Structure 1
Amino acid sequence: MTETQALTEPLDTMIRLLSFEGKQNPYPLYEELRAHGGLVRLGDKHWLAVGYEECARALRAPGLLQTDAAMQDLRMPGWREHSSWQWLTKNMLFSNEPDHDRMRRFFSSAFSAHSVSAFGPMVERLADEAVAHLEKAAAEGAPEGVDLVEELTYRLPIAVLGELLSIPPEDQPGMHPLIKAITTSMDPVGDLSQLNPGDAAMDKLAEYVADLVDRRRAAPGTDLTSAFVKARDAGSDLTEEDLVANLMAVIVAGSEAPQDLLGNSIRIAAQHPEYAERIREDAEFTARFLEEVLRFDPPVHALNRVAGEDQEFFGETVTRGSAVTLLIASGNRDPRRFTEPDRFDPDRPGNQKQLTFSAGAHYCLGAALARMTAETLLPKLFRRFPDLAVVGTPGFRDQIVQRGHDRLPVTLG
């Protein structure tokens, strides 16, 4: 850390972080912020948790609440005019107790580690199909490369969700632009009109999911949507709106984050052939490799909380209504927690302690499925294409909360 970096004002650093250029490589900017300590004041009512311990505690702190409807009223006047946040505040990801516990209990058993283990054969089959599709797309496409995002890293997670939720294959590609637009609504906005693309996408997805629920109610199958509908109609305390909102959350979170995990993992392995070689033959190494990707270059960089009451947090007074932004990707590179944090090391001890899947009551419901999907695909991909190479310098989307590649051109060798 240079003296110049250490003296950079946090607000100036944050402005650069939120620029397109900053989002392409935010890690030096996280380091600038950590020079001010693990908890950084950004204004009278805004704090940044940038250290590992600060993020880890904030994830579990009962006084730091999710941005539900009541908290959004404090932080974002006018949000109720935007359907993106109307729907977001109705799902478990943006809820507090008792609503969070009520909704999570309803959905959690379907995505437990035990339940996910039964999905293994289906994920294996879909991963084989995805690799075969990639080969076909490359053969039919331009010689300069094929886009992994479009042809593989989005395609596999949405195919898995499609089988689980009964989303027909022909409907899955059209969801991609909707999901991308919805995730932009979770980024910081300077003007609420920036939510308009997410609003339009959310309206379309809500209409689709409501129709899916109606179809599964009329003609139940063995899929999870049918099971959820049956359980709700049998007397659950879940409302129809709760069901639709949370199925939308499963589709968005269950496709975008795994897509970005796969993209980052493939890019790093392709750029380090020694890792790709080990992935081909060693399942235990593949699991460790993925944990290090989740620490080193995660698909989720930031989470937001709001102080529900005045409280002391790491020696600072955080007043009611204050926003606390958890830059968990910064915490994952905190040198107080990880030795040489800017060095990618799949054999690093303790990398499973990364914060990417959150912690506490809001630990990611889809973590086990995301890990299974990646652990299944990567060996198949690098066995079939041992010379897979990234073309040029990959760019990232203009997003910071959910960060990943917009395109990832590769040649298959």
Structure 2
Amino acid sequence: MTLTSDVVLDPYDYDFHEDPYPYYKRLRDEAPLYRNEQLGFWALSRHADVLQGFRNSTTLSNKFGVSLDPVSRGPHASKTMSFLAMDDPAHLRLRTLVSKGFTPRRIRELEPRVTELTLKHLDTMLEKAGDGTVDYVAEFAGKLPMDVISELMGVPEADRDRIRALADGVMHREDGITDVPAEAIEASLNLIVYYQDMVAERRKKLTDDLTSALLEAEIDGDRLTDDEVLGFMFLMVIAGNETTTKLLANAAFWGHKNPDQLTQVYEDTDRVPLWVEETLRYDTSSQILARTVVGELTLYDTTIPDGDVVLLLPGSAHRDERVFDDPDAYVIGREIGSKLMSFGSGAHFCLGAHLARMEARVALTELFRRIRGYEVDEANAVRVHSSNVRGFAHLPITVQLR
């Protein structure tokens, strides 16, 4: 198949951030294996190819990281991205040890506390909303996930605002910047220093948080080093905080754009998980993930050489009309099942998927118990500019309380 298409995929382009879906459609139709010479990557956009890409963790390696940003790429990537930037057997060893601390039971036991944190932030947001507009991201969606992670790890409440600010600093990108800015690197270092102190404290005296559980985790005498614990904590901040914030805001935005779909949710909050799943399909937080070719890979009569970067586009895969009926329609309750790739697939399937789903369910259920309607001020909504995640930096809303 020849790659004759004049469509340009630039993950740093603000126009692409506003609405990537027309670009994706053209890629799927015209260049299912796309090449960008200038930025030096290939991209796969069809559902079948993206799924195959996630599952082929030998030829498509994670070991140089999963971001296109040059500073994040390289053999050092696992220092901040933990086992997400590793291949087996190193990946499996670390993942198995970490999952001894990060258990479904621990997540279940966290739910009452997640509900408390949700209500605290909801109270503040709804009070500020009063008769006017309030920023749903600044007051709610941007605060809750980082607080949940801090709760899980054992960060004292007094430090959480600061930790949240550092986490935001790690992710922020200005217009036209195609690499990690100095401010983000500084925020990353400050965050790591904070967590280093926390790990050192737990080494002296264990508590019942995830940080202690990670230090205690052991398989046949094998334990996590301090650096490995730190890498995982940092991964939680990036992967677990950012994506859930985006999910909560994307759900609110698309619910507002499709009010007929939300009627069923107002009537029955048990349908919130279906709302979450359709949001994950329709406009997923994680749009683009990078892999590195090991050996070589042949697709569409084209051989991709060793060391080249291949981008997997789950954001495009979820709108593939080869797999979903009427994919550009937002339909709460549609059949999605195992076709969803928001959390990846295969060996690197997201360890935090159940935490993200639980958080989103609790947050949106409690919100809908308190309101009977809301409107998004679209003119003043501001998108996040990132080469791999999609969502809102600001989402002003007005609410009608029940």
Q: Same fold (TM over 0.5)?
A: yes
Matched, 1:216 2:202: yes
Query: Which secondary structure does the structure 2 equivalent of 1:406 belong to?
Result: strand
1:87 corresponds in structure 2 to 79
Query: Which of 29, 32, 38 in structure 1 is aligned with 2:32?
Result: 38
- Cα deviation for residue 40 of structure 1 reads 2.0
- Cα deviation for residue 242 of structure 1 reads 1.0
Matched, 1:108 2:102: no
2:159 corresponds in structure 1 to 171
Query: Which of 390, 398, 408 in structure 1 is aligned with 2:385?
Result: 398
Query: Over residues 243-279 of structure 1, what are the superposed CA-to-partner deviations in whole Å (9 max), with x where a residue is unaligned?
Result: 1111111122111111110111122223333443322
Seen in structure 2, the aligned counterparts of structure 1 residues 402 and 79 have a Cα distance that, compared at 3 Å, is closer
Query: Which of 64, 68, 80 in structure 2 is aligned with 1:68?
Result: 64
User: Following the alignment from structure 1 to structure 2, what is the Cα–Cα distance between the partners of residues 76 and 153?
Assistant: 29
Contact 2:62 2:292 in 1 (8 A): yes
Query: Over residues 369-406 of structure 1, what are the superposed CA-to-partner deviations in whole Å (9 max), with x where a residue is unaligned?
Result: 11011111212112212122211332311113011101
1:158 corresponds in structure 2 to 146
Structure with greater helix share of residues: 1
Contact 1:60 1:360 in 2 (8 A): yes
Give me the TM-score of the superposition, normalised by structure 1. Answer: 0.86
User: Following the alignment from structure 1 to structure 2, what is the Cα–Cα distance between the partners of residues 272 and 29?
Assistant: 23
Seen in structure 2, the aligned counterparts of structure 1 residues 123 and 78 have a Cα distance that, compared at 3 Å, is closer
Seen in structure 2, the aligned counterparts of structure 1 residues 79 and 68 have a Cα distance that, compared at 3 Å, is closer
Matched, 1:24 2:12: no
1:127 corresponds in structure 2 to 118
User: Following the alignment from structure 1 to structure 2, what is the Cα–Cα distance between the partners of residues 386 and 155?
Assistant: 23
Give me the TM-score of the superposition, normalised by structure 2. Answer: 0.88
Contact 1:279 1:378 in 2 (8 A): no
- Cα deviation for residue 343 of structure 1 reads 0.7
Matched, 1:55 2:78: no
Q: Which amino acid aligns with 1:402?
A: V
1:7-406 aligned at under 5 Å gives the runs 8-10=5-7, 13-15=8-10, 18-43=12-37, 46-61=41-56, 62-68=58-64, 85=77, 87-88=79-80, 91-139=82-130, 144-183=132-171, 190=178, 194-231=180-217, 235-350=221-336, 352-393=338-379, 394-406=381-393
Contact 1:391 1:410 in 2 (8 A): yes
Query: Over residues 8-37 of structure 1, what are the superposed CA-to-partner deviations in whole Å (9 max), with x where a residue is unaligned?
Result: 424xx224x531122111111111222224
Gaps of 5+ in 1: 1-5
Q: Which amino acid aligns with 1:28?
A: P
Query: Which secondary structure does the structure 2 equivalent of 1:317 belong to?
Result: strand
User: Following the alignment from structure 2 to structure 1, what is the Cα–Cα distance between the partners of residues 342 and 48?
Assistant: 14
User: Following the alignment from structure 1 to structure 2, what is the Cα–Cα distance between the partners of residues 314 and 197?
Assistant: 41
Query: Which secondary structure does the structure 2 equivalent of 1:389 belong to?
Result: strand
Query: Which secondary structure does the structure 2 equivalent of 1:251 belong to?
Result: helix
User: Following the alignment from structure 1 to structure 2, what is the Cα–Cα distance between the partners of residues 31 and 333?
Assistant: 8
User: Following the alignment from structure 1 to structure 2, what is the Cα–Cα distance between the partners of residues 125 and 234?
Assistant: 38
Q: CA RMSD in A?
A: 3.0
Contact 2:374 2:397 in 1 (8 A): yes
- Cα deviation for residue 49 of structure 1 reads 0.5
Query: Which secondary structure does the structure 2 equivalent of 1:35 belong to?
Result: helix
Contact 1:292 1:351 in 2 (8 A): no
Gaps of 5+ in 2: none
User: Following the alignment from structure 2 to structure 1, what is the Cα–Cα distance between the partners of residues 31 and 73?
Assistant: 32
Q: Which amino acid aligns with 1:207?
A: V
Seen in structure 2, the aligned counterparts of structure 1 residues 283 and 115 have a Cα distance that, compared at 3 Å, is farther
Percent identity over the alignment is 27
User: Following the alignment from structure 2 to structure 1, what is the Cα–Cα distance between the partners of residues 152 and 295?
Assistant: 40
1:410 corresponds in structure 2 to 397
Q: Which amino acid aligns with 1:133?
A: T
Contact 1:232 1:239 in 2 (8 A): no
- Cα deviation for residue 78 of structure 1 reads 11
